Chain A
Amino acid sequence: MHVITIDHDLCNSCKRCYKACFNDVIVWEEEFPQVRYPQECATCNWCELSCPDGAVKVIPHNPVRIPEPYPRSFYPLSYVAG
């Protein structure tokens, strides 16, 4: 899962990261942004880029989980196991 961190000591509660997130990964609670749903993060980085104080960091965690295009069960000569 991707990792998004917010340093609340640097955060000025401007809400820019909260507004920039189009997948509702960042929610607004108790006057601060909180990372609640990293499962839906698209790693677009707009939260990080929008922050005027450098409080937000996005660290993509790869490989991402996607359906295997070439499983051996369907492709006997596939280089992919499984």
Chain B
Amino acid sequence: MAPKQGEAMASLDTNGEVHSADVLILGAGLAGYIVANRVKELNPELSVLLVEKSTAGWSGSKANKGAGVMWVMEEKDDVGKFREYYSAHHGHGLEDQELLEKVCGTTMEMVAHLERWGVNVAREADGSLARSGLLPLWALCAFDLDILMKLRKVALKYGVKAVDKTQVVDLLTQGNRVVGAVGFDITNGAFRTFKAKAVVNATGSCCWMVANMWSSARGDGIAAAWRAGARMRIAEFSNFYNLGLRGNQAAMVGSQYALYNADNEWIAKKYCPDFETDVDLGIILGMEKEVRDGKGPISFEETELFYKNPLAVGDFLFRWNRPQAKKFWLRLWEGEGKYTSDRSWRPEVIPMFIGECSPVMTDHEMRSSLEGMWALGDTSRSGAGWAGAVPPPSRIRGSGITWAAVSSLLAEKSLAEYAASASEPEIDADQVARLKEGIYAPMAREKGLDVRESTFRLQEVISPPRYSARKSAGRIQESLARVAEVAAECDQVTPGGDWHVLGLCHDLKNMAQCAEIYFTSALARTESRGWHYREDFPKRDDATWRKWVDVELKDGKVVVSATPLPVERFKTPAVVDPWFYETMYEAIK
């Protein structure tokens, strides 16, 4: 008898539990829940199983611990003008304009589904969507931070199952087809095998555990897909920085127009255009330039936070009635105010590395290069191609939430149809046994390196601006060499018999592989474009590089290629912003 969905059954000679489903979803964040609910609505006969490293409904890297905002294009917003603006100032000519338009055209559908499922989306008294009034071409709308709870309630009603506290480590394959995954319970070490006709990879981005609030984004699904042979696209844009307080990493969103150097000079005049909608690479490179010139530290004049800041925080967060968000942010700020190390009038601000490596390549229906695997949300944010030469959130706050939802909606039809018609997968017991051995290998080491220290060594070659903002071939090669050293340490770290720490050991391996993908792609792009600045190639080169850098693992070797953009199908020609590529580049030399 075939195992029922969500029920454990020892059917393989691996002593573990085997869970089967038509659709297996790795990661129960926003994308995971939305696609789960939509698949059930499209075809209630399909069994859907979520696997989550923490607890389904409380996880995800953005939905319950972010600002609770989403990017929306309403009917009154001019998509054509937005596309032109986005291409010139965000995507820098590297965006897939066809998919960008598709994303824009799906955001209102997203709002409709969320509200239908009971999510508190902020609306004005007249019923219109409440939107921040300071952004020129798109809407920034708000929802409350209990969004996952609302989606979970719907999922439970639909019969979606979830397995919690399970760290998925590797994908199971049948030829080029993904047919499941294996992992272990981080609380007791139990081995689990998951078998499915279709697999959704929605574990999120890799932020290398540098910034506190993004510390659950460790690239699990990206690295598993990499090892299984999935193609990765434009991973060189895995270098998102915000501005943050040195002491506690509190993000000072939109503070670039309120920064001063040690000589009390207002530095935005050199590194920021007259107006920008969100932080750009210029201020990150500019802050570093000031320090190189002996004019650090950079301090933040709090009274000027609202100056030229369309993301003005007070209004941005609290204009709407959102009880959960209010509770979350007031408590967070109370803690920051009470315990931060620097509460001087002008606290020091540093580039706060977040990363957001999200390179799993997909088509416009979120199918990865591996048959049977879809990649959603932050797993494929760069890899889908629409964002272009900018790391998430693409200088559009709230677009992480939107992409999680929209990518789910773009995937739902092909996913449900595939799962309904695909043949029953065959699980290779030898593959399971081999992967199981790899999962538990660190537990055999009685003595070894401290995995948290190895993780810090990895962070040291990713997060400083000299590696991820001001790149050069020499420093990228230095990073790759040091990443390889850390990767070698993966065979030396010991969990000390602790399952949680075993999880950290696999996180280290995954984060090292994401770093290799990132720096390999960065080395290949021998030009400067958007958030990829190469000191040794300080020109944008449209003739050579209107291409996506692709990397994949073939026979154990990293293979790099470049795919030309289908520009003949695009409506907007590439525009080179003279301020960015001339004025700013001159200032940060």
The chain A residues found within 8 Å of chain B, CB to CB, are 18-24, 27-28, 36-37, 39-40, 42-46, 48-49, 58-70, 74-75, 77-80
> Once bound together, how far apart are the Cα atoms of A46 and B54, in whole Å?
13
- Contact A67:B215 (CB < 8 A) given known A46-B65, A79-B296: no
Q: Which of A19, A44, A63 contacts B213, CB < 8 Å?
A: A44
Q: How far is the CB of A22 from the nearest CB of chain B, in Å?
A: 4
**Contact in complex: A77, B291 (CB < 8 Å):** yes
- Contact A46:B328 (CB < 8 A) given known A19-B58, A63-B248, A79-B262: yes
- Closest 3 interchain pairs by CB? A77-B294, A19-B55, A67-B460
**Contact in complex: A70, B291 (CB < 8 Å):** yes
Write 28 A-B pairs (CB below 8 A) sorted by A numbering. Answer: A18-B55, A19-B55, A20-B55, A21-B58, A22-B54, A22-B216, A24-B500, A27-B500, A42-B213, A44-B328, A45-B328, A46-B64, A59-B339, A62-B248, A62-B340, A64-B247, A65-B456, A66-B249, A67-B210, A68-B464, A69-B463, A70-B291, A70-B350, A74-B466, A77-B291, A77-B293, A79-B262, A79-B296
Judged by a CB distance under 8 angstroms, whether B309 is at the interface is: no
**Contact in complex: A46, B216 (CB < 8 Å):** no
Q: Which residues of B contact A58 (CB under 8 A)?
A: 335
**Contact in complex: B331, A48 (CB < 8 Å):** yes
Known: A62-B247, A67-B459. 19 other contacts (CB 8 A): A19-B58, A20-B55, A22-B59, A24-B165, A27-B500, A28-B187, A42-B215, A43-B332, A46-B58, A61-B339, A63-B248, A64-B247, A64-B248, A66-B210, A67-B210, A69-B288, A74-B464, A77-B291, A77-B293
Judged by a CB distance under 8 angstroms, whether B160 is at the interface is: no
Q: Which residues of B contact A63 (CB under 8 A)?
A: 246-248, 341
Q: Which of B335, B463, B500 contacts A45, CB < 8 Å?
A: B335
Q: Which of B54, B58, B327, B465 contacts A69, CB < 8 Å?
A: B465
Q: Which residues of B contact A66 (CB under 8 A)?
A: 210, 249, 459, 463
Q: How far is the CB of B186 from the nearest CB of chain A, in Å?
A: 6
Judged by a CB distance under 8 angstroms, whether B336 is at the interface is: yes
**Contact in complex: B331, A67 (CB < 8 Å):** no
**Contact in complex: A42, B350 (CB < 8 Å):** no
Q: Which residues of B contact A18 (CB under 8 A)?
A: 55
**Contact in complex: A62, B331 (CB < 8 Å):** no
**Contact in complex: A75, B456 (CB < 8 Å):** no
**Contact in complex: B294, A62 (CB < 8 Å):** no
Q: Which residues of B contact A75 (CB under 8 A)?
A: 291-292
> Once bound together, how far apart are the Cα atoms of A78 and B261, in whole Å?
12
Judged by a CB distance under 8 angstroms, whether B385 is at the interface is: no
Chain A interface, >50% SS class: loop
Q: Which residues of B contact A80 (CB under 8 A)?
A: 296
Q: How far is the CB of A37 from the nearest CB of chain B, in Å?
A: 6
Count residues of B near A (Cβ-Cβ below 8 Å). 51
> Once bound together, how far apart are the Cα atoms of A19 and B56, in whole Å?
8
Q: Which residues of B contact A27 (CB under 8 A)?
A: 187, 500
**Contact in complex: B459, A23 (CB < 8 Å):** no
> Once bound together, how far apart are the Cα atoms of A36 and B504, in whole Å?
14
**Contact in complex: A78, B291 (CB < 8 Å):** yes
Q: Which residues of B contact A62 (CB under 8 A)?
A: 247-248, 339-341
Task: Tell me the nearest residue of chain B to A58, going by C-beta.
Answer: B335
Q: Which residues of A contact B336 (CB under 8 A)?
A: 60
Q: How far is the CB of B242 from the nearest CB of chain A, in Å?
A: 13
Judged by a CB distance under 8 angstroms, whether B388 is at the interface is: no
- Contact A67:B328 (CB < 8 A) given known A28-B187, A43-B212: no
> Once bound together, how far apart are the Cα atoms of A23 and B59, in whole Å?
9
> Once bound together, how far apart are the Cα atoms of A78 and B186, in whole Å?
43
Q: Mark B445-464, 1 if CB is under 8 A from A, else 0.
A: 00000001000100110011
Q: How far is the CB of B430 from the nearest CB of chain A, in Å?
A: 31
Judged by a CB distance under 8 angstroms, whether B351 is at the interface is: yes
**Contact in complex: B216, A42 (CB < 8 Å):** yes
Task: Tell me the nearest residue of chain B to A41, going by C-beta.
Answer: B212
Q: Which residues of B contact A44 (CB under 8 A)?
A: 65, 212-213, 328, 332
Q: Which of B54, B294, B456 contacts A21, CB < 8 Å?
A: B54
Q: Which of A22, A37, A78 contacts B500, CB < 8 Å?
A: A37
Judged by a CB distance under 8 angstroms, whether B68 is at the interface is: no
